[in-house]
Amino acid sequence: MMISLYKKFLKLIYNTLIILLVGFLNINAATDSTSIGAGYTLLSWYKLGTKANVSANVTKWDIALSTALDASIRINDASTVKLWYVVGSDATSFDEPGTLDTNGLSTDLEGVKFKQYYNSPKTWAIGAFNMDRNGFAQGGDFGWGQYNQAIHQLTGKSLFIIALPNGEYKKIFIVKWANWIYTIKYANLDGSDLKSVEINSKNYDGKLFVYYSIVSDEILDLEPKSTEWDIVFGKYTDVARMGQVVYDNYPVTGARINPRVKVAKVTGVKNNEAQQPFLNQFTNTTNAIGYLWKIFNQNTFQWIIPDTITYFVISEDDGYLYKLWFTGFVSSSGNIYFNTERLPLSVIDDASGNNSSFAIFPNVISNGDQLNIFISNLIEYQKFDLDIVDITGSKVYSQIFNIGNNNEIFAINNLNLNSGFYFVRLNIGGKIFNQKLIVN
């Protein structure tokens, strides 16, 4: 009898220890959720560290204008906004008399008279108005406008037709971007109801975009500051595959990331077994998380969430690594369920031979902000040269750094750079590494 009671007592102690141990090991793990609303009418910005959630109704706005130098202008692809470029148009086309001929607008698939454009799903820096172009990499051609380096101004050069959620069609022209102010004019296709608006993006400094409603002629402040979110959930357009058919610019629901965030995806192992991948597998591509964490079952008409897809997320704001995996999606309510676990970031590199790492963060700064330089597995070279050059190739900053450890972060506090686009170039042992830098 005593032996039996003793065994039960030991078993109780053992089970208690196991429960405590499991609880200790998972102290940073948490279950969370967000919602994009019934009918997917919300954009929801989420912060991993604080679990803060900020939402905005997608029906409020029609276009979004970047607050950065990339001059990205996006359409509301969470709604039914559509955009066409009038082929052959120029800066004078908007003011031509008469009604703009839109015959063949929806059927001109070859883009003879009209070419439809969409937001890039891969980068926030290329919106539909940018016409697949990143001006800094393409001679200052930003699609809607051309950049003049001498006066630091973008001048409009393209006429567009925009379809609005209320069924109206407007002609729209981005006149210019100068001193952070966008000048836009739009009207009915016959030129009536002409409106002109100036939007000072500097008033929304620290955010990715300022929003504007053509329907209500209203400038809108909708999103949190970039430091206050890591992931935005909602509807957008991306490449989708259905069987053997591939659809470009197809409406999907998923997650996109902040430019200050990097993500690596691990598949083929259970969520609880997934381990942090090599640093060179992380990317800051906007749709790095995307929508493929769920699969629609055509037989049951239910969403299936595989337990073999795990995302590792690095947030530059707090320096932690987060492990993220989805657990549920309810389409009727737009509720998204997921687990997160905060982990220390390990500097582990691929042992394939190309295992050195160089990164800057953040890659978008304001004049006077601290710029951090991260290097890994470069100690054998003892020192490296770092140059910052502008888009003309002129060197604007140079410094030599001594390497003392295998993994180091160097801080530069004395930068005094004009607003613009730059390349940070590291030269070490004859190897050249480049990273892009934007100064607001």
Q: Identify the CATH number of the domain in which residue 427 sits.
A: 2.60.40.1930
Residue 401 CA to chain centroid, in angstroms? 32
Instruction: Give yes or no: residues 181 and 234 share one domain.
Output: no
Measured in whole angstroms, the distance separating CA 188 from the mean position of its chain's CA atoms is 33
Token couple for 173: 């022209």
Q: For the residues 185-197, what does the mean pLDDT come to?
A: 98
Q: Between 187 and 409, where is the model more confident?
A: 187
Q: Output the pLDDT for position 319.
A: 67
Give the C-alpha separation, 43 to 32, whole Å.
17
Provide the mean pLDDT of the chain: 86
Cα separation of 263 and 421, whole Å? 24
Distance CA 112, CA 37 (A): 39
Same domain, 115 and 217: yes
Report yes or no on 130 lying in a domain. Answer: yes
- How many structural domains is the chain composed of? 3
Say whether both 51 and 68 belong to one domain: no
Neighbours of 382 (CB within 10 A): 11
20 in any annotated domain: no
Domain boundary among 221, 254, 273: 221
DSSP conformational letter for 58: G
For tokens 């919602």, the residue is 35
Q: Which domain holds residue 163?
A: 63-221
Q: Residue 326 above 60 pLDDT?
A: yes
User: How large a percentage of the chain has pLDDT more than 70?
Assistant: 87
What are the tens digits of pLDDT across the range 351-363?
333 445 677 877 7
Q: Residue 295 CB: number of other CB atoms within 10 A?
A: 12
21 found inside a domain: no
In a domain, 16, yes or no: no
Task: Confirm whether 375 is domain-assigned.
Answer: yes
State whether 100 and 155 are in the same domain.
yes
Same domain, 332 and 374: no
- Within this chain, do residues 256 and 157 fall inside the same structural domain, yes or no? no
Residues 129 and 45 in one domain: no
Any domain includes 349: no
For residue 15, is it within any domain?
Answer: no
| Single residue among 188, 221, 254 that ends a domain in this structure | 221
Instruction: Tell whether 46 and 156 lie within a shared domain.
Output: no
Mean pLDDT of 110-122: 94
Asked if 215 and 309 sit in the same domain, the reply is no
pLDDT at site 14: 36
CA nearest 349: which of 283, 289, 286, 282?
A: 282
Residue 320 or residue 277, greater confidence: 277
Asked, for residue 350, whether it belongs to a domain, the answer is: no
Model pLDDT for residues 198-256, shown as the tens digit of each residue: 999 999 999 999 999 999 999 999 999 999 999 999 999 999 987 788 999 999 999 99
CA angle 138, 141, 143 (to 5 degrees): 120
Check: CB of residue 83 under 8 Å from CB of residue 117.
Answer: yes
Claim to verify: residue 102 and residue 157 sit in the same structural domain = yes
Q: Judge if pTM exceeds 0.95.
A: no
Q: Are both 179 and 265 inside the same structural domain?
A: no
Of 311, 343, 375, the one marking the end of a domain is: 343
For residue 17, the model assigns a pLDDT of 35
71 and 196 housed in the same domain: yes
- Give the residue-averaged pLDDT of 300-329: 90
